[in-house]
Structure 1
Amino acid sequence: MLIDLSIRDVVLIERLDLSFDDGLAVLTGETGAGKSILLDSLGLALGARAEARLVRHGSNQAVVTAAFSLPENHLANRVLQEQGLDIDETLVLRRILKPDGRSRAYANDQPISIGLLRQLGECLIEIQGQFDQQGLMDSTTHIDVLDSYASLYQDRQTCADLFRRWKETETALKQAQLAAEKAREDEDYLRHSVDELEKFAPQPGEEDTLSAERTMLQNAEKLIEAINEAHQHLDGRSGADALLRKAQKALERIADKATGQVDAAIEALERAAVEIQEGLSGLSSAMLDIRPDESLLNATEERLFALRDLARKHNAHPDQLADVLVQLQKNLMLIDDSAAELTRLTEEATAAKQAYIEAADALTAKRHDAAGRLDKAVNSELPPLKLEKATFITVQEELPEDGWTANGKDRVQFQVSTNPGTPAGPLSKIASGGELSRFLLALKVSLAETGSVPTLVFDEVDSGVGGATAAAVGERLDRLSESVQILVITHSPQVAARGQSHWRVAKSLNGEAMVTAVSRLDEAQRREELARMLSGAEVTNEARAAADRLLADRQFEGTDA
């Protein structure tokens, strides 16, 4: 529930801090005092559209903070967890609005998007009168409301699982059908390509090997000439090896007289001689491997060029041709095995669809039964709310197959008829102002035990009614507040007297600026406010006596309960 609301520099509100209890809280005040500013401010904290006009004149920003106390498993906490955000015992939403219309949002002091703020707000507070498309005003939510009323969560979950299974099997079948069809269209090409690649037997890395071999064969004569020249320089009487041996022998003759001074040089020359011998051995080996061979060169070039042609043909790198062959072989197997596979997938999809249909039909039947009970409950609430000629109807329509969803085969919409003999219409279209609010109040009372939003706000739900009807509105708000927190802006003393807490909104001149203030009333102040609401500008003793009776009636009912 909403526990704190802090407002800074919003229109006429300079600084305001409110703390709320559970139950029914009423806000009263003269017309134009600024009650709508409170709703605008609360809307900001819940993700409503930000308007620059809301920033108080002369201020550099407007700030609204709303704090909520929620059970650990509340939907808002699950939303935060899905976004990887921290969860505290108290959820604090903050919105900062600049004079240029830009705004920033925070949840528990963590920056969030305005979209996420709106998502959180929708599961925390429902405001009737300001957000016409929120909650019960949005017909797309009516199926959820009906299912919640009928406690169909498990049935819906089963239906959703079967729907997902059905769609998965259908997708697998369609993919297999497309693959088999394409494979059949390309069967001749596939068989030729597989035969060609199997005969060619390409190997990973073969292109590099063939390219290197071709380069060597193309330059074989030059390589042999260079090897012979190198061999002459190293071997023979005037070669490096002979000269090196002569130098080594010259040093060895005087080694015993050099007291070790030339030993290192002798050892180095010995190692050099060994290296030269290894070099000569390598040259000899190379001479054996490198032989001009025109036929071998032609064969190497032929395979290299054929390999590259195959790669271009299959739009692949030469090293990928082996993988291409595997895939083409699989496609051929699909052609050969497609009949059996398609039969199996068709049977799976058919069985999955039938299982979904059975679950959806069962869900439809339970919804139909629940719709009748809900209609009866709501219609019993209408006469005391001066809507005795109206009728509430839950319209349940079975959709065509292309409209089936994880929620089943139904479309649900709450409709009302305001007068006997007139056709029913959508809940959001049949009335406005207080009449519409009373329809929603009747529906909310009937759904009191099933709603997930912990706080409801009604803006002038008593508009256009008085006397016994206003008292009935107050009684139902009081009853509804046993299940959820209720905030109601009212001009009706009968409704205001029902509140567990009472706030007065007033506008006054502070220096040269007009400001709106909100104060919580004690019993004496509350008596005077009710008397003002009963009598107008001049509070009379008769009005005070009537206010006492309203308060006494409320206390008596509470004791009797």
Structure 2
Amino acid sequence: MLSHLTLQDFAVVSRAELAFGPGMTVVSGETGAGKSLLVDALMWLTGARADAGIVRHGAERAELAAEFRLSDAPAALDWLRENELDDGDGCQLRRVIRADGGSRAWINGRPATLGQLSELGGLLVEIHGQHEHQALLDRGQQLALLDAFGQHAGLLAEVRELARRWAALDRELGELARAGDVGDRIAWLQHQVEELAAENLDAADLGELAAAHRRQANAAGLLQGCQAALARLAGDEGLSVQRLLHQTRGDLQRLAADEPRLAEVLGLLESAGIQLAEAAAGLERLHDDFDLDPERLRRLEERLARLHELARKHRVPLDALAARRDALQEELDGLSGAGERAAKLGRELDALARDWQAAASRLGQSRAAAAARLGQAVAALMSELGMGGGVFTVALEPLDTTRPAPQGAERCEFLVSANPGQPPRALRKVASGGELARISLAIEVAALGLDAVPTMVFDEVDTGIGGAVAEVVGQKLRALGAERQVLCVTHLPQVAAQGHHHYRVSKAVEADATHSQVEALDPKARVEELARMLGGVEITKEVRANARQMLSRAQES
């Protein structure tokens, strides 16, 4: 529900802030005062293309903002969450239109595209009036309203889900078909997988292979180095570390009798001797393990060469060959079962198509029944709204498609004849703006607001009518206001009196500039405004009494 609307430097409005509540709010004012600007503001806030002409003369930009409470708009709240634009249970739309024609938009303080603004706006506001921006002129909206009227949510959900599943399987089958004859690809994959599977490509094995190759390639140097180290540690010829350590311990032991503190030093030297002996033993074991084996070195080098050649062939690092092997195996497995998968998909598609046809048939039958009920209800209301003898029908046409469609097997068109003897024509081709607006009102009243849009705006729906018909229009709008928030721009007192709330738009000229002001009317001011609408230039006591009586009767009803 719309709760606040703010306009700044918008057309002839320098600044206006309006608060809205539930029920029916009427907007009145003298001709040319700018009462339809509120409707225009909502149009631009819900995605209409920018027009620099709406910027107030002398201003750099026009700013528009609207706040909505979403307790009655679950679809809008879901959309905000899906697009990560939600901010609690409220929503703020803001748009700035510059004098050079550029514009920017925000949803809950975050930049938004006009497409996003239009999508969200369609879930928040529905505008009916004497202009081309009529929601009910769109055939998709007509079908949605018919489904809401017929309470087809369950049937429609089943049809959509079957169509979605069918489309997903059809895409998969198409991908298999585009692959064509995969025999050559399978043969190539089998060769590549067998070639890679012949090698141990585990990371641990590759590491051990590289280490073994380094040891074998450097075996001669390792042997020579170990021999030299053993000679220095425990050699029999010349001075070695062990021999020098032994001699040093002997010399110190002879002196230890005179200096007891040398015992600690002798203990350390003894430990060092043990460690030297262990080091020498370790070198001897390593020395014995080294084997100058040219044949083993050749085999290791051949295997490394094969692996590097495979890595170059598949254009991956050596340590990525295992992942490449697994990927090729996965593709091979998929292609090997392509024929069986295609046949299975074909059978599943046929079954889903039959299920969809059955569900779509049930939906179509329910739609036909709902179309008859809606046509009768709207035609009856048209008669009450001054179009006696008018005809309204909902035509269902089969969709020309071989694919299961998410919306079902048919589309609909609202057909209307406002005058007796005229053949019904598409609602979007009705010439009279006033008739079009009243027909839209009749449709909404008949549907009791079942299209789920929380705020409905009617702009000049009373054009070309008066008297009792005008009072009926007002009553129908008030009845609609019991189900949805209704905003109505009117010039007839019979309609204005039916509102739960009333705004008046007036204009004044100051400093050679025209300004429009919007003010909320209390009961006393409402009587004066209704009297103005009734009496014109001269407002007499009798006119005020008539206005007071009209307002009292409307509010009591």
Deviations 1:415-460 (A, max 9, x none): 4456678776543343363232122112212222413122222111
Name 1:35's counterpart in structure 2. 35
**TM value normalised by structure 2:** 0.84
Deviations 1:115-164 (A, max 9, x none): 55554443332222498446323332222111101000011112222223
Mean alpha-carbon deviation: is it higher for 112-121 or for 33-42?
Answer: 112-121
Deviations 1:349-407 (A, max 9, x none): 32222212211121122112212222222222334444457543433232244554322
Name 1:456's counterpart in structure 2. 456
Residue 162 (structure 1) aligned with residue 162 (structure 2): yes
Name 2:244's counterpart in structure 1. 243
Match of 1:254, as an amino acid? L
Residue 410 of structure 1 and its aligned partner are, at CA, apart by 2.4
What is the CA–CA distance in structure 2 between the aligned matches of 1:405 and 1:481, rounded to whole Å?
Answer: 35
Name 1:300's counterpart in structure 2. 300
Deviations 1:243-276 (A, max 9, x none): 222223222322333331x445434433433333
Deviations 1:46-99 (A, max 9, x none): 5655666656567787655544455367333334444373424xx352536375
Residue 211 (structure 1) aligned with residue 210 (structure 2): yes
What is the CA–CA distance in structure 1 between the aligned matches of 2:17 and 2:85, rounded to whole Å?
Answer: 30
What is the CA–CA distance in structure 2 between the aligned matches of 1:325 and 1:56, rounded to whole Å?
Answer: 70
What is the CA–CA distance in structure 1 between the aligned matches of 2:43 and 2:533, rounded to whole Å?
Answer: 27
What is the CA–CA distance in structure 2 between the aligned matches of 1:218 and 1:410, rounded to whole Å?
Answer: 79
What is the CA–CA distance in structure 2 between the aligned matches of 1:202 and 1:520, rounded to whole Å?
Answer: 81
Equivalent residues of 1:39, 1:130 under 8 A apart: no
Taking a change above 3 Å as real, the CA distance of residues 264 and 53 of structure 1, as seen in their structure-2 partners, is farther
Taking a change above 3 Å as real, the CA distance of residues 494 and 558 of structure 1, as seen in their structure-2 partners, is closer
Equivalent residues of 2:2, 2:68 under 8 A apart: yes
What is the CA–CA distance in structure 2 between the aligned matches of 1:51 and 1:139, rounded to whole Å?
Answer: 27
Match of 1:239, as an amino acid? S
Taking a change above 3 Å as real, the CA distance of residues 216 and 131 of structure 1, as seen in their structure-2 partners, is farther
Match of 1:221, as an amino acid? A
Task: Summarize the alignment of residues 172-183 of structure 1 with structure 2, pairs less than 5 Å apart.
Answer: 172-174=172-174, 183=182
Residue 287 of structure 1 and its aligned partner are, at CA, apart by 2.2
Task: Summarize the alignment of residues 16-27 of structure 1 with structure 2, pairs less than 5 Å apart.
Answer: 16-27=16-27
Name 1:370's counterpart in structure 2. 370
What is the CA–CA distance in structure 1 between the aligned matches of 2:131 and 2:271, rounded to whole Å?
Answer: 95
Match of 1:234, as an amino acid? L
Residue 191 of structure 1 and its aligned partner are, at CA, apart by 3.8
What is the CA–CA distance in structure 1 between the aligned matches of 2:133 and 2:465, rounded to whole Å?
Answer: 25
Name 2:286's counterpart in structure 1. 286
Residue 300 of structure 1 and its aligned partner are, at CA, apart by 0.9
Report the 3-state secondary structure (helix = DSSP H, G, I; strand = E; otherwise coil) of the residue aligned with 2:428.
coil
Provide the alpha-carbon RMSD of the alignment: 3.7
Residue 558 of structure 1 and its aligned partner are, at CA, apart by 6.3
What is the CA–CA distance in structure 2 between the aligned matches of 1:433 and 1:302, rounded to whole Å?
Answer: 89
Equivalent residues of 2:434, 2:462 under 8 A apart: yes
Match of 2:282, as an amino acid? G
Equivalent residues of 1:46, 1:120 under 8 A apart: yes
Residue 223 (structure 1) aligned with residue 204 (structure 2): no
Residue 505 of structure 1 and its aligned partner are, at CA, apart by 1.1
Name 2:2's counterpart in structure 1. 2
Taking a change above 3 Å as real, the CA distance of residues 455 and 198 of structure 1, as seen in their structure-2 partners, is closer
Task: Summarize the alignment of residues 445-524 of structure 1 with structure 2, pairs less than 5 Å apart.
Answer: 445-510=445-510, 514-524=514-524
Equivalent residues of 2:70, 2:91 under 8 A apart: no
What is the CA–CA distance in structure 1 between the aligned matches of 2:446 and 2:78, rounded to whole Å?
Answer: 27
Equivalent residues of 1:46, 1:93 under 8 A apart: no
Taking a change above 3 Å as real, the CA distance of residues 47 and 266 of structure 1, as seen in their structure-2 partners, is farther
What is the CA–CA distance in structure 2 between the aligned matches of 1:186 and 1:70, rounded to whole Å?
Answer: 56
Report the 3-state secondary structure (helix = DSSP H, G, I; strand = E; otherwise coil) of the residue aligned with 1:186.
helix
Taking a change above 3 Å as real, the CA distance of residues 114 and 263 of structure 1, as seen in their structure-2 partners, is farther
Name 1:259's counterpart in structure 2. 260
What is the CA–CA distance in structure 2 between the aligned matches of 1:210 and 1:47, rounded to whole Å?
Answer: 67
What is the CA–CA distance in structure 1 between the aligned matches of 2:211 and 2:487, rounded to whole Å?
Answer: 85
Name 1:414's counterpart in structure 2. 414
Task: Summarize the alignment of residues 545-560 of structure 1 with structure 2, pairs less than 5 Å apart.
Answer: 545=542, 548-549=545-546, 552=549, 555-556=552-553
Match of 2:221, as an amino acid? K
Residue 474 of structure 1 and its aligned partner are, at CA, apart by 2.8
Task: Summarize the alignment of residues 49-88 of structure 1 with structure 2, pairs less than 5 Å apart.
Answer: 64-71=64-71, 74-82=74-82, 83=84, 85-88=86-89
What is the CA–CA distance in structure 2 between the aligned matches of 1:33 and 1:482, rounded to whole Å?
Answer: 29
Taking a change above 3 Å as real, the CA distance of residues 118 and 169 of structure 1, as seen in their structure-2 partners, is closer
What is the CA–CA distance in structure 2 between the aligned matches of 1:318 and 1:209, rounded to whole Å?
Answer: 14
Taking a change above 3 Å as real, the CA distance of residues 321 and 94 of structure 1, as seen in their structure-2 partners, is closer
Residue 317 of structure 1 and its aligned partner are, at CA, apart by 4.1
Equivalent residues of 1:456, 1:487 under 8 A apart: yes
Taking a change above 3 Å as real, the CA distance of residues 420 and 278 of structure 1, as seen in their structure-2 partners, is farther
Equivalent residues of 2:55, 2:98 under 8 A apart: yes
Equivalent residues of 1:403, 1:409 under 8 A apart: no
Mean alpha-carbon deviation: is it higher for 522-531 or for 431-440?
Answer: 522-531
Equivalent residues of 1:503, 1:520 under 8 A apart: yes
Residue 233 (structure 1) aligned with residue 223 (structure 2): no
What is the CA–CA distance in structure 1 between the aligned matches of 2:321 and 2:488, rounded to whole Å?
Answer: 74
Match of 1:272, as an amino acid? A
Aligned length: 551
What is the CA–CA distance in structure 2 between the aligned matches of 1:28 and 1:330, rounded to whole Å?
Answer: 72
Report the 3-state secondary structure (helix = DSSP H, G, I; strand = E; otherwise coil) of the residue aligned with 1:479.
helix
Name 1:360's counterpart in structure 2. 360
Taking a change above 3 Å as real, the CA distance of residues 270 and 402 of structure 1, as seen in their structure-2 partners, is farther
What is the CA–CA distance in structure 2 between the aligned matches of 1:146 and 1:202, rounded to whole Å?
Answer: 65
Residue 305 of structure 1 and its aligned partner are, at CA, apart by 1.1
Deviations 1:12-52 (A, max 9, x none): 43443434443332221112212133334444555655666
Taking a change above 3 Å as real, the CA distance of residues 531 and 336 of structure 1, as seen in their structure-2 partners, is closer
What is the CA–CA distance in structure 2 between the aligned matches of 1:147 and 1:297, rounded to whole Å?
Answer: 81
